[in-house]
Chains A and B, each alone.
Chain A
Amino acid sequence: MSQVAAFWTAVGSYMAVACGIGLWHFRRASREEGFHVAGRSLGPVVGGATLMANQVSAGATIGIVGFHYYSGLSYAWTWPLVWVGWVVCALLVAPKIRRHAGFTLPDYFEARYDSRAARGLSAVFVLLAYTVMLSAQYQAGGLLLTLVGGLDYTRAVVLVAAMTTVYTFLGGMYSNAYVGVLKAALLLGGYAMAVPFLWSHVGGLHGLGVALTALDPRLTANWFGWRQLISISLALGLGLAAAPYEIAAIYSMQSRRATRLAIGWSFVFQACIGVGVLVFGLSMRVLVPHLPEPDLGTPMLGTSILPFGIGLLVLLAAVVTFTRTGGAILLTVASAVSHDLYGTLVAPGATDRAKVLVGRGAVLLFSAIPVALAFRQLTLVNFIVIFAGKLIVSFLFVPVVVGLNWKRATGAGAIASMLGGLGTCVGWSLLGPAYPAGIDPWEIATTVSLVLFVAVSRRTAPVRQERLDVFFPADDMLSTGS
């Protein structure tokens, strides 16, 4: 069987399995709690795979391999640094948000701030930021299918969008959770075979080190300075602590303890994947030092460097990565439209069935919008992911993380914080690439967001006590006073 035929057979089989999972859960996903939060049934390992599968997108399996290809080792440090954001989540977000039986992040906004405007605004901003994020998944998928499957780029992007849409449409969060487990198995299995193979042929760390250092000493040392690494990692990590798709995953867990353990399991998966993409990127720089684009590292590794079977597994894992993360993003977008905008603001009396129908319509519609961005292929995949992460942290971190831990925060404060944060991030980004005083857009944006949050909250009436009781019970030592 030719490589192209084998690849399409593998992709077809994966889609059949993913759709099978979706169909298996279709009836359960017809209820809103099933579609959005998998009936709150996820245990620690499946939950950990879900959290990992949300985070490890095409930005990692294709984009970070490309980053390591051209910038060497130093970007790897973002893995453990991003975990700081997860610890913030385990300490300050997950235990509190689990007390509220919501489906989506905008649910939290209305419940916490007693403000439908805050819910609506957060839903609209989530749509914006996730459209950018989804375009990165489509772009990465398009590159892969172009190179491996022999399609032209435009058709490849459309096919990726269609694949992502189909299985999200069918199964909602159930599909996402169990395809997340499949994704973890494929990534770990493929990488466990590919890494020793590459290791043995490039002469291990010694061989890599000598060849890379001679190419450019920064490849084995610090291409990125610590200031840059910490800034990128905090943007991504703190953004994850408040990311809508991770919050939806937290809502889907069985209990608060299951959530905390799931975060730990996601670290285990991420550590293995982090080492894998590092070895891939560094090895590819030595084996094929003049690739036309760094993002072609993974596709070429799978098609032309690794043995047929292992290469196929690595390529399939990449396909699962962008369709699965794309699915999580689509699901979040669908929830924002159906549950938060339609079900709460447009038609408050809508039935569960109607909301799920609107949600599935939103999956179709919002799957199509990022295709236009992906066609333009504006920059490297991982830059798009980082930019989307900066947008998310700039408008969500303060009202979610600080808002969960500061009783005095108000709806007006949250709205000012989101508007100020997102506006500053976009405005400051336009001043780049040499940002004033070397301050990254997300850093100034989050500061502005915090200042506005505190200042406006102080000047507006506090949220009613009965609303706050859910998040700040009397016996909670973490709660801060007014």
Chain B
Amino acid sequence: MTAAGLSWTGGSGLAQTGAAPTETVPSHRAEIEAVVAHDGRATVHERFTLDPMPSTIELEWLVAPCVPLEELTVTVDDTAWVVEAADGGPWMRVRAMSPIAPPTPTGAPLVIVYRARLGQRTATLPVVMPRGTLTREPGTRGAAIDLRVTFESDGRVRLPQLAAASNPHEWRARLLAVPSMLRLEVPDASDAACGTALSGSTGGLEWRVSTFVATMAVWIPLYFWRFGRRVGTDA
């Protein structure tokens, strides 16, 4: 979106910086694979082809109650990057830094690996993603994210929309951006009691949306009451 484009419609004043919510990450291809065991243990491998390879990358994920991520590692060409916590919840943010500066341009992908345990039959598996918009795959509207989820036994992906592959336990999709979460059904997982709500400030969203809906709900009957009556010259 060009500044000229926004200016042409008077949009710049409205948009502020909103039309470009995040930084750009120099990668237009990624593979994300999640393997979910029958008891709900999940292992996720992500590979991002970055060009040029930065010496630092910020990663983030949306915390899921009762599904902490464990053993998060970031490697390039078998070299482990240093991972530092940057911000905590509900969007957890970490900074991964190459131990070699600048990193060797071998063409090897940035590999992110982590584990989680899904404590409920329908659970959220957070997806760790680079903090920013991936560049566009040439000729398309977004990046090419190949997402694959494999269940060791029964299971299904509720969100995002993945298609069942020829292997009945495997689900696949190609997306144009990285989703923040996978919603999975794992029938054999233990359905442990868990506080399901994210903690933190809602910014008053509940009462603001309620006020918005109530305003419209009052408007409509008032309108019909005032203008719906039959009057003498209704032809």
Partners in one complex: yes
Binding site for B on A (CB under 8 A): 3, 70-71, 73, 76-77, 79-80, 83, 87, 90, 143, 146-147, 152, 201, 203, 205-217, 219-221, 223-224, 228, 232, 255-257, 260-261, 263-264, 267-268, 271, 274-275, 278, 286-294, 296, 300, 303-308, 311, 377-380, 383-384, 386-387, 390, 429, 432-435, 440-441
Contacts of A429 in B (CB 8 A): 8-10
B203–A271 CB distance below 8 A:
no
Could you tell me the distance between the alpha carbons of A278 and B208 in the complex, rounded to whole angstroms? 12
A217–B9 CB distance below 8 A:
no
Q: Which 7 A-B pairs have the closest CB atoms?
A: A209-B202, A220-B203, A433-B12, A209-B205, A213-B203, A379-B5, A383-B11
Further pairs besides A305-B179, A429-B8: 6, Cβ < 8 Å: A80-B215, A207-B198, A278-B212, A303-B161, A387-B11, A440-B10
Contacts of B74 in A (CB 8 A): none
Could you tell me the distance between the alpha carbons of A178 and B8 in the complex, rounded to whole angstroms? 35
Minimum CB–CB distance for B219 against chain A, Å: 6
Of the stretches B42-50, B95-103, B113-121, B131-139, the one at the interface is B131-139
Contacts of B160 in A (CB 8 A): 287, 304-305
A288–B180 CB distance below 8 A:
yes
Minimum CB–CB distance for B139 against chain A, Å: 7
A379–B216 CB distance below 8 A:
no
**Smallest CB gap from A435: residue in B:** B13
Binding site for A on B (CB under 8 A): 1-2, 4-16, 18-19, 21-22, 62, 89-91, 129-134, 136, 139, 141-143, 158-161, 163, 173, 175-181, 183, 196-206, 208-209, 212-213, 215-217, 219-220, 223-224, 227-228, 230-231, 233-235
Minimum CB–CB distance for A268 against chain B, Å: 6
Contacts of A271 in B (CB 8 A): 216-217, 219-220
Could you tell me the distance between the alpha carbons of A228 and B13 in the complex, rounded to whole angstroms? 9
Minimum CB–CB distance for B231 against chain A, Å: 7
The residue that A305 contacts in the complex, of B161, B215, B233, with Cβ under 8 A, is B161
| Most chain A beta carbons < 10 A, residue from B6, B173, B202 | B202
A268–B136 CB distance below 8 A:
no
A383–B14 CB distance below 8 A:
yes
Could you tell me the distance between the alpha carbons of A208 and B216 in the complex, rounded to whole angstroms? 21
Could you tell me the distance between the alpha carbons of A24 and B159 in the complex, rounded to whole angstroms? 42
Contacts of A278 in B (CB 8 A): 209, 212
A257–B201 CB distance below 8 A:
no
Query: What are 18 contact pairs spanning A and B, CB under 8 A?
Result: A70-B21, A73-B208, A77-B212, A143-B141, A203-B198, A209-B206, A210-B198, A214-B91, A261-B228, A263-B223, A271-B216, A275-B213, A289-B21, A289-B22, A290-B133, A291-B176, A294-B21, A307-B158
**Smallest CB gap from B196: residue in A:** A203
B205–A260 CB distance below 8 A:
no
| Most chain A beta carbons < 10 A, residue from B161, B199, B201, B230 | B161
Contacts of A83 in B (CB 8 A): 219, 223
Minimum CB–CB distance for A43 against chain B, Å: 13
Could you tell me the distance between the alpha carbons of A236 and B209 in the complex, rounded to whole angstroms? 22
Contacts of A256 in B (CB 8 A): 233-235
Minimum CB–CB distance for B212 against chain A, Å: 5
B231–A257 CB distance below 8 A:
yes
Contacts of B198 in A (CB 8 A): 203, 206-207, 210-211
Contacts of A3 in B (CB 8 A): 163
Contacts of B159 in A (CB 8 A): 201, 287, 305
| Most chain B beta carbons < 10 A, residue from A224, A257, A278, A386 | A257
Given contacts A90-B227, A440-B10, A441-B10, A212 and B205 within 8 Å (CB-CB): yes
Minimum CB–CB distance for A194 against chain B, Å: 12
A257–B230 CB distance below 8 A:
yes
B7–A211 CB distance below 8 A:
no
Minimum CB–CB distance for B128 against chain A, Å: 13
The residue that A306 contacts in the complex, of B129, B161, B206, B209, with Cβ under 8 A, is B161
**Smallest CB gap from A288: residue in B:** B177
Contacts of B199 in A (CB 8 A): 210
Contacts of B181 in A (CB 8 A): 287
The residue that B62 contacts in the complex, of A211, A264, A378, A379, with Cβ under 8 A, is A211
A387–B10 CB distance below 8 A:
yes
Contacts of A287 in B (CB 8 A): 159-160, 179-181
A210–B223 CB distance below 8 A:
no
Minimum CB–CB distance for A456 against chain B, Å: 27
Could you tell me the distance between the alpha carbons of A210 and B163 in the complex, rounded to whole angstroms? 30
A213–B5 CB distance below 8 A:
no
A292–B142 CB distance below 8 A:
yes
The residue that B223 contacts in the complex, of A220, A232, A267, A377, with Cβ under 8 A, is A267
Could you tell me the distance between the alpha carbons of A318 and B16 in the complex, rounded to whole angstroms? 27
| Most chain A beta carbons < 10 A, residue from B8, B158, B228 | B8
The residue that A210 contacts in the complex, of B13, B19, B90, B142, with Cβ under 8 A, is B90
Could you tell me the distance between the alpha carbons of A305 and B133 in the complex, rounded to whole angstroms? 18
The residue that A433 contacts in the complex, of B13, B22, B196, with Cβ under 8 A, is B13
**Smallest CB gap from A376: residue in B:** B5
Given contacts A214-B90, A290-B134, A380 and B203 within 8 Å (CB-CB): no
B6–A71 CB distance below 8 A:
no
Minimum CB–CB distance for B227 against chain A, Å: 4
Given contacts A90-B227, A307-B161, A274 and B216 within 8 Å (CB-CB): yes
B227–A206 CB distance below 8 A:
no
Contacts of A206 in B (CB 8 A): 197-198, 202, 205-206
B228–A260 CB distance below 8 A:
yes
